[in-house]
Amino acid sequence: MCSSQLNLVLIFAVSILCGCGQGRQRTFEERLVANGVVKIDGKLLDKGRIVFESPDDAINGIPPGTGLIRHGNYQASVSLGSKTVRIYAPLETGEEDETGLTLTEEAVPAIYNATSELQATITVDGPRTFDFDLTTPPPGKPSRRK
């Protein structure tokens, strides 16, 4: 390979590694701490995860605010605006899959995570404490939000 061909290959490789487009640049959004308590059927949710997200954030490359739930309490760093809140609490089933990993099942009904209608609005001067009192449906009854 001659010197000019090597230079072209190097220029091409560097442009791919560095990026040559004028794509959207992510800005650092203002984030505030949201906190609160999560209960399920009147009892503190022992452990889980809470997520604050919005379609606008996703479009703009802003990651959702997430936090761990421990003994019912959580804290999450969240960007400003209206958010859908999703709450998860996987429980180990005591069974393993074919690879030896422990299987889990979701303890929180889908109406509070996969199809959540829980909402919170994060503002600079507004309250940022959001408590969630979730309920599970009685056996044999469909999930329905109260």
Q: What is the pTM of this model?
A: 0.73
What is the chain's mean pLDDT, rounded? 84
Angstrom distances, CA of residue 6 to CA of 9, 10, 55: 5, 6, 45
* Segment 139-146 mean pLDDT: 50
Task: Name the band, by pLDDT with cuts 50, 70 and 90, for residue 126.
Answer: confident
pLDDT at residue 8 tops 50: no
pLDDT band at 34 (very low <50, low <70, confident <90, very high): very high
The mean pLDDT value for 84-91 works out to: 96
Are the beta carbons of 80 and 32 closer than 8 angstroms?
Answer: yes
The pLDDT value recorded for residue 144 is: 45
Q: Kindly report the CA angle at 131 between 128 and 137, in degrees rounded to 5?
A: 150
Q: Which residues contact 58 (CB under 8 A, 6 or more apart)?
A: 64
Is 15 in contact with 56 (CB distance < 8 Å)? no
Higher pLDDT, 84 or 100: 84
